[in-house]
Amino acid sequence: MRKQIVAGNWKMNKTLQEGIDLAKSVNELNEQVDGDVEVIVAAPFIHLSEVSRVLSSVRLSAQDCASEANGAFTGEVSAEMVRSAGVEYVIIGHSERRTIFKEDDITLNKKIKLALDNGLIPIFCCGEVLEERESGKLFDVIQTQVEIALFDLDPADMGKIVIAYEPVWAIGTGVVATPEQAQEMHAYIRKLIREKFGDSLADELTILYGGSCKPSNAREIFANTDVDGGLIGGASLNAEDFIAIVQSF
Ligand code: PEP
């Protein structure tokens, strides 16, 4: 049975107190939801340890971790530090990290390994920009991102990974991929994993869709065979909207 997940990425939003309040509301509302969907919030680094104290039905994620284990890297936060704050998941390779902070696939591969070594579950993001989709390069782009970041993992580690397909043109734009576009790419990603790691690992792999997912469109996206949930940006900043997305399953 594949795990279904809805994860909220708060990005650089909310003061510490606002973050604690949002986490409490999400946790409370989620307690009233039936079903097996795993709900995750990805809070800013400095919120993590306080937010971990108010969550019970909801899991906690960081939005990133460093590509080095420790040492003279001013401003960075290591996977070990993240784990020590009561965190279970870490988003790696979000398109904002790739584009704004110039993170490449080799760096992301290092982050994934450090996350795994420290007991964190990576939520690995991949996605094409509009130009790559329109020029027909979308499958090559995703293949390269997935291969470099994940293909040298051993199967036991790969079995822990969650993948989020986030077409960059859909993130924060209000333009959502059609259910067909999402299904097509999710099936392709699962095929790549199947060819490299085999059937059982591919069948168990959770693949999330991210990009302008809202209560009004989540149901039709989540209804696709290869879509196992969502990574939610803007709509995760409001507890009611976020939980309405969880209830779309
Ligand atoms: C994201 O940042 O991962 C995301 C999917 O954002 P939004 O839902 O706002 O498009």
Q: What is the DSSP letter of 66?
A: -
Smallest CA-to-CA distance from 95 within 103, 86, 84 is with 103
Query: In this predicted structure, what is the pLDDT of residue 76?
Result: 98
Q: Whose CA is nearest to atom 8 of ligand 1?
A: 233
Angle at 21 between CA 84 and CA 111, to 5 degrees: 35
- Reported confidence tier of residue 29, pLDDT bands at 50, 70, 90: very high
Partner residues linked to 84 by β-bridges: none
Query: In this predicted structure, what is the pLDDT of residue 249?
Result: 85
For residues 210 and 166, is the Cβ–Cβ distance under 8 A? yes
Which CATH number is associated with domain 5-246?
3.20.20.70
* Whether residue 1 has pLDDT greater than 90: no
Find the mean pLDDT for residues 68-76: 98
Q: What are the residue ranges spanned by the domains of the chain?
A: 5-246
Binding site membership of 231 for ligand 1 (Cβ less than 6 Å): yes
Query: In this predicted structure, what is the pLDDT of residue 52?
Result: 98
Rounded Cα distance between 222 and 176, Å, is 13
* Whether residue 239 has pLDDT greater than 90: yes
Please report where in the chains the tokens 């982050």 appear, as a residue. 111
Say how many C-beta atoms besides its own lie within 10 A of residue 28's C-beta.
Answer: 15
Is 94 one of the annotated active-site residues of the chain?
yes
Active-site residue, from 38, 47, 94, 186:
94
* Whether residue 38 has pLDDT greater than 90: yes
Active-site residue, from 38, 128, 166, 186:
166
Q: Whose CA is nearest to atom 2 of ligand 1?
A: 233
Atom nearest to 170 CA in ligand 1: 10
pTM of the complete model: 0.98
Query: In this predicted structure, what is the pLDDT of residue 184?
Result: 98
Atom nearest to 171 CA in ligand 1: 10
* Whether residue 80 has pLDDT greater than 90: yes
Is 166 one of the annotated active-site residues of the chain?
yes
Query: In this predicted structure, what is the pLDDT of residue 171?
Result: 95
Binding site membership of 213 for ligand 1 (Cβ less than 6 Å): yes
Binding site membership of 166 for ligand 1 (Cβ less than 6 Å): yes
Q: Tally the C-alpha atoms within 13 A of residue 249's C-alpha that lie toward its C-beta.
A: 20
Query: In this predicted structure, what is the pLDDT of residue 217?
Result: 96
Q: Which tens digit of pLDDT belongs to each residue from 39-63? A: 999 999 999 999 999 999 999 999 9
Q: Which tens digit of pLDDT belongs to each residue from 157-214? A: 999 999 999 999 999 999 999 999 999 999 999 999 999 999 999 999 999 999 999 9
Q: Which tens digit of pLDDT belongs to each residue from 104-157? A: 999 999 999 999 999 999 999 999 999 999 999 999 999 999 999 999 999 999
Atom nearest to 236 CA in ligand 1: 8
Please report where in the chains the tokens 């400095």 appear, as a residue. 46
For residues 27 and 59, is the Cβ–Cβ distance under 8 A? no
Query: In this predicted structure, what is the pLDDT of residue 34?
Result: 92
Task: Report DSSP letters for 122-140, one per residue.
Answer: EEEEE---HHHHHTT-HHH
Rounded Cα distance between 128 and 168, Å, is 6
Q: Whose CA is nearest to atom 3 of ligand 1?
A: 233
**For a pocket test of ligand 1, which of 11, 207, 212 has the largest count of ligand atoms closer than 8 A to its C-beta?**
212
R_g of the chain, CA atoms, integer Å: 17
Query: In this predicted structure, what is the pLDDT of residue 97?
Result: 98
Query: In this predicted structure, what is the pLDDT of residue 74?
Result: 98
Query: In this predicted structure, what is the pLDDT of residue 3?
Result: 97
